[in-house]
Structure formats: structure tokens, C-alpha cells
Structure 1
């Protein structure tokens, strides 16, 4: 007999994540290779950074962030170009990311990304864009 219990904990979330990743790895013919770059100031504080994974033929850009004090100075472009170059060296042929309507969609479009899918009313009144770019 099984008992249903409520569990909203981060521990349950992490346990399920680990188990699904372990199961999925048995079926994937590629490993996730982490990539990251950052700009630091004279005090070694991060002012802009990007983190991604190469997964087979895909570069999955997880995070790209610039502190408000350094925006519009080209750092985000340099980070994105660098992570794309490294991804290509590791076999990525496509890049994928997502962004919200109040974030960086116009920036990514200038870098050659195109919206492939969007979630309207996300989470209630915004839009979440899933974007891709060919790297070859």
C-alpha cells in the first residue's frame, strides 16, 4: 500500500532532478560540457558573465547577465560571441536560449537569434521566448 504525501520541499525537487538526469543519461549519446566566461572589475567582482552547456550538437545558453552599471558597453556581445565560438569548437551547430519580454529579446535578435516558440501570458501577463541560432 502506498501513501500520498504533500512535499513542496526543494529536497524533493532536487531528488527528482537527479533521478531524471540519471535516467536520461542512459539514453543520450552526448555529455553536457559546461562553459562559462566572466568579466571582472579591478576588485575581482563579476560585472558580466555567461554560462552554457554544449550538449551534442547544441549550445544551450543558460545565463547571460550584465550589471546595470556596465550595460551598453559591448560586454554581453563579447560574452555571447566567445561562448558561441567555444561551443562550435566543441561540436555545437545550433545555439538555444530563452528570454522574457522585459529582458533581452532585441539584443539576441541583433546577434542572429530567432524566436522558435513563445509562451504567452507567462507567468501571467508576460511572454517567454525560446530562441535559436545556427552556429555553422
Structure 2
């Protein structure tokens, strides 16, 4: 009820939401998911939600391939921008190397750290 009411209200201010899930997974030889990204696209934006790879897949180019595949699919869906948040103890540098810039920081969340909001224009 609450989400439906808000969605109806928001429709008066732009195109109605067309939220579509998106996932890019790294799988082992047997097809089991090892890691990847979950996201969704909506109103011309890619919203990256959870991105995780096990230690043995980090620093080998897998993260860049997963992110690139998610961005490519978002472009195919008509998205022109991407947004995400990360934490000061996570992957800010990784995202900056891939063209993301900080647009907001929530200090002290979680305590002793920061939540960092980032964005990227997908068309360059």
C-alpha cells in the first residue's frame, strides 16, 4: 500500500518507474555462483546494490569485467547514469578508477567510518 501510493504520486513528476533487476555473476565450472553484482535499472539510471567477489577473484580483473558487464547492460536498457554507495573500508578506489565520482559522504556511518555515495555518467 505505501509503496503503491508513493509510486502513483511520483508518476506525476516524470516517467513511471520501470524497475528491472540486473545481476552479473561469476560462476565456477559447475555453474555455482562465486560472486558478482546485483543491481537494477530504473528511470535511466543503473543502481548498483551489492557487489562482492571472494578474495581469490580480486585483483585479477574480475571486478572490472563484472562492473563493465553491468554498465554495458544498463546502456542497452537506455540508462545514461549509474549510482552506488560504498563504505570507507570497502572499494572507493576501485570505483574511482572506473570513472565514479563522490557526490555525498555520510560521516560516522557506521561509527568510525563513512558511507560514500558515488555516480558515473555512462556515456562519455
Same fold (TM over 0.5): yes
Residues 23-102 of structure 1: pairs in structure 2 closer than 5 A:
23-26=5-8, 27-28=10-11, 29-102=16-89
Q: Is the 8 A contact 1:54 1:60 kept in 2?
A: yes
CA distance in structure 2 between the aligned counterparts of 1:54 and 1:20, rounded to whole angstroms: 21
4+ residue runs over 3 A deviation: none
- Show CA shifts across 1:55-99 (max 9, x none): 111110011110112111111111111111111111111100000
CA distance in structure 2 between the aligned counterparts of 1:72 and 1:107, rounded to whole angstroms: 10
Structure 1: runs of 5+ lacking an equivalent: 1-18
- Calculate the aligned-residue CA RMSD, in Å: 1.2
CA distance in structure 1 between the aligned counterparts of 2:24 and 2:3, rounded to whole angstroms: 25
CA distance in structure 1 between the aligned counterparts of 2:41 and 2:47, rounded to whole angstroms: 6
CA distance in structure 2 between the aligned counterparts of 1:131 and 1:99, rounded to whole angstroms: 8
Equivalent position of 1:131 in the other structure? 118
What SS does the aligned partner of 2:75 have? Answer: helix
TM-score normalised by structure 2 residue count: 0.89
Structure 2: runs of 5+ lacking an equivalent: none
- Show CA shifts across 1:29-69 (max 9, x none): 12101111101112333222111111111110011110112
What SS does the aligned partner of 2:59 have? Answer: coil
Quick one: which of 98, 105, 108 aligns to 1:118? Answer: 105
What SS does the aligned partner of 1:108 have? Answer: helix
What SS does the aligned partner of 2:89 have? Answer: coil
Greater C-alpha radius of gyration: 1
